[in-house]
Amino acid sequence: MSKNTLYNFISIEGNIGAGKTSLATKIAADVDARLIVEQFAENPFLPKFYEEPEKHAFPLELSFLAERYHQLKNEFANQDIFKPNIVSDYYFLKCLIFAKTNLKNDEYDLFTKLFHIINDSLPKPDLFVYLHNSIPKLQENIKKRGRTYEQNISDEYLEKIQNMYFDFIKQLTNTKVLVIECDTIDFVNNPTDYIKLLDAILKPYQIGVTRIII
């Protein structure tokens, strides 16, 4: 990237309300990279899922799988020679994390078969950044951004997703993973916090999991 040549593709991840899109947007602008933002708000199954999870979980996860695949495939197929580097606000792996959380066993088994068929054709990030927040902090962020369909998300659901992320992170191989503790920083409104966070992300890391506190 323009400020660091180590990473051509950075994926920012985290639980609901972690600040993934805000951080990815700021980083992409500052290092002059292309930004990939997940278009989840346009998914018609999402509000339905929060109202009736069991009824709409499978079509929701399948639609996210298809949308993320097509978005990433198209973005990487249409390279920009002036902006060859990419920052995204999601990692395709999240398809499995939410599917494991939301689907029944037989549905998940079918889902994983579809996932692995298409996952091998997608590029993997050079650095996977996970923003870790406590459940109260996530709820605070969710309330602040005010999306109607998110306001009744339970602590139990957020905790389940969080645990699932860590389970999958432990299984990752040949991946540089950076876990950042975010409870005590405000990278959206505090420029000093953001600069510290940006500097930490653009440092070199070894393959494996690195945990930092800003």
Q: What is the pLDDT of residue 97?
A: 95
Does residue 30 have an active-site annotation? no
Q: Do the beta carbons of residue 184 and residue 150 sit within 8 Å?
A: no
Number of residues that make up the chain: 214
pTM, 2 dp? 0.91
Cα 82–chain centre separation: 25
- Low-confidence residues of the chain: pLDDT under 50: 1-2, 4
Q: What is the pLDDT of residue 1?
A: 44
Count Cβ atoms below 10 Å from residue 17 Cβ, excluding itself. Answer: 22
- pLDDT (tens digit per residue) in 69-110: 999 999 999 888 878 899 999 999 999 999 999 999 999 999
Q: Do the beta carbons of residue 133 and residue 70 sit within 8 Å?
A: no
Catalytic residue among 80, 89, 167, 199: 89
User: Mapping DSSP to helix (H, G, I), strand (E, B) and coil, where does residue 179 land?
Assistant: strand
* Edge-first strand listing for the sheet containing 9-14: 34-36, 86-88, 9-14, 127-132, 176-181, 208-213
The pair phi, psi for residue 25, each rounded to 5°, is -65, -45
| CATH for the stretch 15-213 | 3.40.50.300
Q: What is the pLDDT of residue 152?
A: 87
What are the CA-CA distances from residue 113 to residues 20, 62, 107, 110, 116 (Å)?
27, 12, 10, 5, 5
79 exposure class (CB count in 10 Å sphere: 0-12, 13-18, 19+)? exposed
Q: What is the pLDDT of residue 5?
A: 55
